[in-house]
């Protein structure tokens, strides 16, 4: 029994030490707020935005809002497109992981000149707004 005494003390001491569970894994722990990096450009190629700018020519045709979203896995966001103060499109996008990249597009049409923005929205809350101008 003497040769096992050290092992018995070690097991007993280990059982008395509370396990340390990271705060994110504890039941009921607050989830970190979703974060977004977004921009508008002329195309999406190889899972990246190209032609990003603050001002676009009226004949550009289609623009893309590209978002990188973190801390929002297994949820949805919306890209809400505005021309001036008028909502012109709303696109629901699934967020499958974190970080997650996604995009939407908007055909501008003939009367495209003016101030535009694309809001990235989750649960009615604007996470980021990208403002741009079409000339």
Q: Which domains does the chain have, with CATH numbers?
A: 33-134 (2.60.40.1930)
pTM assigned to the model: 0.76
Could you read off the pLDDT tens digit of each residue along the chain, which spans 135 residues?
555 555 444 444 444 444 444 444 445 555 678 999 999 999 999 999 999 999 999 999 999 999 999 999 999 999 999 999 999 999 999 999 999 999 999 999 889 999 999 999 999 999 999 999 999
The residue written with tokens 């893309």 in the block is: 64
pLDDT, position 19? 46
Helices (H) and strands (E) in the chain, counts: 1, 10
Residue 68 is encoded by which pair of tokens?
């990188």
Return the sign of the alpha-carbon dihedral for residues 16, 22, 23, 27: negative
Q: 10 Å Cβ neighbour count for 92?
A: 10
Residue 75 is encoded by which pair of tokens?
């949820």
Within 17-129, residue ranges assigned H as helices are: none
């Amino acid at each position: 029994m003497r040769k096992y005494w050290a092992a018995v003390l070690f097991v007993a001491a280990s059982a008395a030490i509370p396990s340390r569970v990271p705060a994110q894994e504890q039941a009921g722990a607050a989830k970190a707020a979703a974060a977004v990096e977004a921009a508008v450009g002329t195309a999406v190629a190889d899972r990246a935005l190209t032609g990003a700018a603050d001002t676009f020519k009226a004949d550009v045709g289609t623009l893309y809002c590209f978002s990188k979203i973190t801390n929002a896995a297994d949820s949805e966001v919306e890209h809400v497109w505005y021309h001036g103060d008028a909502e012109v499109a709303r696109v629901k996008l699934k967020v499958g992981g974190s970080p997650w990249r996604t995009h939407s597009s908007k055909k501008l049409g003939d009367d495209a000149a003016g101030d535009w923005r694309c809001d990235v929205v989750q649960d009615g809350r604007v996470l980021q707004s990208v403002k741009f101008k079409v000339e």
